[in-house]
Amino acid sequence: MDEELIGIKNTALSLILESEDLESLEETKLQFLGRNGKLTLALKKITEVPVDERKEFGILANEVKQAIEEAIQSQSNKLSKRKLTRVIEKIDVTNPGIKPALGHLHLVTQAIEEITAVFAKIGFERVRYPEIEWDWYAFTALNFPQNHPARDEWETFFIDTPPDPEKGKMVLTPHTSSGQIREMEKSKPPIRMLNIAKCYRRQSDISHTPMFHQFEGLVIDQNISITHLKGTLDYFAKSYFGPKRISRIRPYHFQFTEPSFEVDVTCGVCLGKGCKLCKDGWLEMGGAGMVHPNVLIAGGIDPKQYSGFAFGWGVERVLMMKEGMQIDDLRLLYSNDLRFLKQF
Ligand code: PHE
């Protein structure tokens, strides 16, 4: 019996030392320590050992088992190390690395940066005001009488909180014009503000998303007139859309400007002649006007001393109007679909 154990130990140890890779080492391990392994079977024979020799047999058996296990462990360490060295030797340090995929800014962010840069050249300072706003800033201070139906045109989301006794209900700001009063509260004329922010309205179809962006210009100084507004609009049309584009203003109505206008830009395809895309040569861009005296008063500015103009347009809208841009469904902009976003 004892000789059998010693024999098993010797063959096992020499096989272990001879194994050249982890797979054959694993095989040897099974061959001896597995359920039907040689050592396992030999140990089962303990029942055949005379009772008074069993203790000694047990001790020897344990020693053999331990010796085999230790040998396997140390051989396994040796082989793993060898494998690692081989892998390292295979690394060619002169091989150019794999570049990590680079993302880019969302196309609306790109448009915001471009618009900011265009207006920065003529002295407009980019600002940001709250998206969750009081009715006062979004409507009342902008010359909307309480409960005036014109409020409905902005399809506003109201926040379900108790109203402020002075500033009224809280709303998700439906236009960047709320920044006009905030700006007047913060700075004294001359003011040249560009407020770009998210706006929210209850609307969702191929040309509307419930969240969109507007950029709002506000200029207040002495002797500001419509000619300054028109010059600024033409400057923007040429800088953003291209040197051949011009703007026009049409009479319109807003509570917070007087007179009020809608601004059009010549179509990029026919340059104003009229074509299938635009019909009459002009594309509608958004609203503008001379700041209403009541708005100046609400902002703490004396309308006898100062006058100003304001305009507010959709970022997504001007982006789509830019030459070569045709997005069939505006909601795609916010669908986070990389197949779409990667194109820009
Ligand atoms: N706030 C208006 C809108 O959202 C646009 C506008 C801004 C009009 C400034 C006049 C002056 O439609």
Most confident of 18-32, 33-47, 189-203, 320-334: 189-203
Look at the chain and count its residues.
344
CB 271 within 8 A of CB 253: no
Q: Is 175 in the pocket of ligand 1 (CB under 6 A)?
A: yes
Instruction: State the pLDDT at residue 325.
Output: 66
Domain ranges of the chain: 2-90, 107-341
**Among 193, 212, 236, 256, residue to substitute to test ligand 1 (most atoms within 8 Å of Cβ):** 256
Instruction: State the pLDDT at residue 343.
Output: 84
Q: Which atom of ligand 1 is nearest to the CA of 177?
A: 1
CB 108 within 8 A of CB 213: yes
| Residue of minimum CA distance from atom 4 in ligand 1 | 175
312: CA distance to ligand 1 center in Å? 4
Give the integer Cα–Cα distance in Å for 148 and 328: 35
- CATH class in words for 107-341: alpha beta
Q: Is the pLDDT reported for residue 257 higher than 80?
A: yes
CB 307 within 8 A of CB 291: yes
Instruction: State the pLDDT at residue 108.
Output: 93
Q: What pLDDT band is residue 84 in, cutting at 50, 70 and 90?
A: confident
Q: Taking all residues of the chain, what is their mean pLDDT, rounded to a whole number?
A: 90
313: CA distance to ligand 1 center in Å? 7
> Whose CA is closest to 247, among 313, 148, 327?
313
**Backbone angle region of 297, left / alpha / beta, with phi > 0 → left and psi within -120 to 50 → alpha:** alpha
261: CA distance to ligand 1 center in Å? 9
Instruction: State the pLDDT at residue 125.
Output: 97
The better pLDDT of the pair 147, 34 is held by 34
Q: Is 195 in the pocket of ligand 1 (CB under 6 A)?
A: no
Instruction: State the pLDDT at residue 335.
Output: 87
Q: What pLDDT band is residue 105 in, cutting at 50, 70 and 90?
A: very high
Q: Is 177 in the pocket of ligand 1 (CB under 6 A)?
A: yes
Pairing of strands 132-134, 157-158: unpaired
Mean pLDDT of 213-217: 97
For the whole prediction, is pTM greater than 0.75?
no
